[in-house]
Amino acid sequence: MILLIFTLGPLFLTNLVSADFGYDGDDGPSHWGDSHKACLGKQQSPIDIEAKDVTMASYPPLEFSNLQNPHKANLTNNGHTVMIKSVDTELPTISGGPINDTYTFQQLHFHWGQNDRIGSEDLINNHSFSMELHAVFWKKSYETADEAMKHSDGLTVLGYLYQTTDDSNPIFDSIVSRISEIETAGSTITIDDSSVLNKLVAPDIVSAQNYYTYKGSLTTPPCLEIVQWIDFIDPLPISHDQLAAFRNIQSSDGKNVTHNFRPVQPLNGRVIYRNNINEITETPKPTSGSMTTTTLVTTAPTTAAITAPTTAAVTAPTTAPTTAAVTAPTTTVGGKLTKMSTLTITSTRAPTIESINHMDNNGSQHSGQERIWIASPFAVIFGIIFLLPYQ
């Protein structure tokens, strides 16, 4: 028996799921901790991301490698989800962003709900999306996926949110057309589309930098807390009919997998960061206490072509007023283009464009002088007219 456990253990880890769980009844998420103690941990996933509570941070650009090359990939029903896995030796990798090393692609899979209103695992502002795709990467320096699973920074998972629409998403054509062939648990086929990984994993350059990130866990047993999560904010489309096809796969007991998402878990004081796509800096250090600090770097980015129009150093605590130095290159006063000096602003929140403009229009030192110079020519003209009859 011991030999069997050591033989099958790595197999379970490679697929990132254990066979003895489900999403209903005695096998449901509320009972996962009975057999898998890690599922009761303090850094569990998924979570509800409240946008008002996140901390802004600036990361290097996320970089994808070897995704555009053709990849032979298998489509599998593992009894819990639809999974896509490359069978090539030259696997895609990801680096940059909040991760400090290169991570190698392992597999991607999907989570959905009983209907199109729910299905994603992570929520944003308590809103559930229709589906969520997870692309799993393991840390390359650990040499194997099994070894990476033993370390707290072993995995990075990219989360893509999908919302149903009336129009089909052509990216899913090669998947949905073959799902009927893997309805039975344990079925595997080869996908005809060799570019499917590139289409699913590599979003456009703007969306690829617009994300939330936090430390968490696998969302299925064994629930290991070894994941740096990167959740892309912009939802992607999938049609109602395309999503419905996923609910036709069967679990090991022959029942349709109509839903396979874990409920959100307590945050337990974890900090959620949102990448500031306008600035590039080093990986930030978490703040302590109730202070939330946002720092926009004043140097020009060196690794991305995205720049901010103005330079501002803003520190915004939640409990005390802050002082911010804001420099605007030009402003318009009395119809003339005038240079604006540096303003020191004390406020309980970061200054807005409207507040800067308001202070410029009401506090410019040159406005009185300009009115005098504008009035002077008219005084001369009236004086000449007044003196003409006496000559």
Angle at the Cα of 221 from the Cα atoms of 217 and 225, rounded to 5 degrees = 20
Task: Give me the sign of the Cα torsion angle 170, 171, 175, 178.
Answer: positive
31 is catalytic: no
Beta carbons of 103 and 228 less than 8 angstroms apart: no
Rounded Cα gap, residues 90 and 390, in angstroms: 99
Which of 36, 80, 109, 111 does the annotation list as catalytic?
Answer: 80
As to burial, measured by CB atoms within 10 angstroms (0-12 exposed, 13-18 middle, 19+ buried), residue 329 is: exposed
In sequence order, the 6+-apart residues with CB closer than 8 A to the CB of 357 are 331
Beta carbons of 175 and 75 less than 8 angstroms apart: yes
Rounded Cα gap, residues 340 and 347, in angstroms: 20
Active site residues: 80
